[in-house]
Structure 1
Amino acid sequence: MRIQVNGRPRDVSATTLDALLRELGYEDQKVGTALNQEFVRDKDREKTQLQEGDAVEIVTPRQGG
C-alpha cells in the first residue's frame, strides 16, 4: 500500500503501525509516532491499522541543547 512516512511517499506491506516500524528497521529504537497528525502511544501501535494514503510521522529523540 502507498502511505506517507515523514512526508515522503512509500510503498509498504505493513498493515499496522507496529509492523511498519519493524519493516522500516525501527523495532529496537525508542521513537514517537503519529498517524494522520494524531499521537499514537507505543502500547497502541500493534492495534493501529494503516490504510492507503495515511500519513505517518516517526520521530527519534535527540540530545542537545
Structure 2
Amino acid sequence: MELIINHQRKFFGEAPASLEELMQLEAPGKSKGIAVAVNNQVVPKTQWPSTVLRDRDFILIITATQGG
C-alpha cells in the first residue's frame, strides 16, 4: 500500500488497518496535540479507529509544539 503522508510517499507491505493504527506507527506515544486530515478532510480523533485507509490516500499530520 502506498500512502502520501505530509507530502512524502510511504510504502507499507502490510497496510495499516485503520488511521489509528497508522498513527501508532507514525507518532508512537503521542496522543495529544495532533490533528489529522485524510484527503483534505479533518478526521476527529474519535473516528481514527473506524477510518479505513485506501491506497494512495493523502494524509496530513499536524502536531502542536510549545515555544516560540
- The normalised TM-score by structure 1 is 0.87
RMSD of aligned Cα (Å)? 1.2
Q: Which structure 2 segments of 5+ residues have no match?
A: none
Match of 2:63 in 1: 60
Among all aligned residue pairs of Structure 1 and Structure 2, give the percentage whose two residues are the same amino acid: 25
Residues 37-64 of structure 1, C-alpha deviation per residue, up to 9 Å, x if partnerless? Answer: 0000000000000000100011000234
Q: Which structure 1 segments of 5+ residues have no match?
A: none
The answer to whether residue 17 in structure 2 is matched with residue 4 in structure 1 is: no
- The normalised TM-score by structure 2 is 0.84
